[in-house]
Structure 1
């Protein structure tokens, strides 16, 4: 079992485990957190189990290439979301990030705090050159987070995200190890 943990002032990221099944299922069932997510609301906790089993297996490999973290709020030790960091081929020294926070923790600077720390981990510990992320064009909160941490909007992919509301365009963001991080 990998014991990797990333700390910020208010948050701790730790690799998810099967004991997180119930809280992850609850997060996935919140309509507001599902609005811009392609996963959809699971029909049952068993469906959530099938989704996270490969994530947990990936977290427990000797050389992790697809990290899935639980975000814990230190003040109350409460699970508040998920954060993913998926590495690309080693040659390119590139990764993609994604995150999903419980609506009760939106607009408190927590997503910005956690993204900053994972960027630092990616560049300083993993030695990455480039980290990418995307979001539905209507997901203004997520776009603001990426801009606040110094990511650059590089483009827009047309109708790539199958959301409940229909096909959505996606803003594509990236930051390089040499870019200024905020």
Structure 2
């Protein structure tokens, strides 16, 4: 819970300072009620009707489908509720897990930005992904 607060507090402060509308949600394991990560949107200009999605998942939950499920639901929220046209995401080129998650939900790799991510290990190249409201979604939708 403390780690989640440390991550979310600066995001809220940034929203207030810059007047940028962001959405940040907790990823909760339904069986236990435990917070296992976060995901959010940083909305772009209203003229472009787009957003960038970001997420972080506790390492203990990697490779178990939680990221894919959460991102897929969040894309539904973006397209259906926020009426977005385009949603983008980025990930380090060595982050195979995130690459798989982004591609499982139907996002398409559109670019490769050189040394654009400041990581603890140094600058990393970044793959840029996007999905449009009209694109086919690959992940199975959850039943309501």
Same fold (TM over 0.5): yes
For 2:39, the equivalent position in structure 1 comes to 83
Across the aligned residues of Structure 1 and Structure 2, the Cα RMSD in angstroms comes to 2.1
Gaps of 5+ in 2: 139-144
Counting matched residue pairs gives: 136
CA distance in 2, matches of 1:167, 1:64: 26
Displacement, 1:170?
0.1
The yes-or-no answer on 1:99 pairing with 2:58 is no
The yes-or-no answer on 1:121 pairing with 2:77 is yes
Paired residue for 2:112, among 153, 156, 179? 156
- Structure 1 residues 180, 169: CA separation in 2 closer, same or farther (over 3 Å shift)? same
Structure 1 consecutive aligned stretches of length 4 or more whose deviation exceeds 4 Å: 57-60
For 2:127, the equivalent position in structure 1 comes to 171
The alignment's TM-score, normalised by the length of structure 2, stands at 0.87
The alignment's TM-score, normalised by the length of structure 1, stands at 0.69
Q: Is the 8 A contact 1:59 1:68 kept in 2?
A: no
Secondary structure of 2:47 counterpart:
helix
* RCO comparison, higher one (Cα < 8 Å, 6+): 1
CA distance in 1, matches of 2:28, 2:3: 11
For 1:24, the equivalent position in structure 2 comes to 4
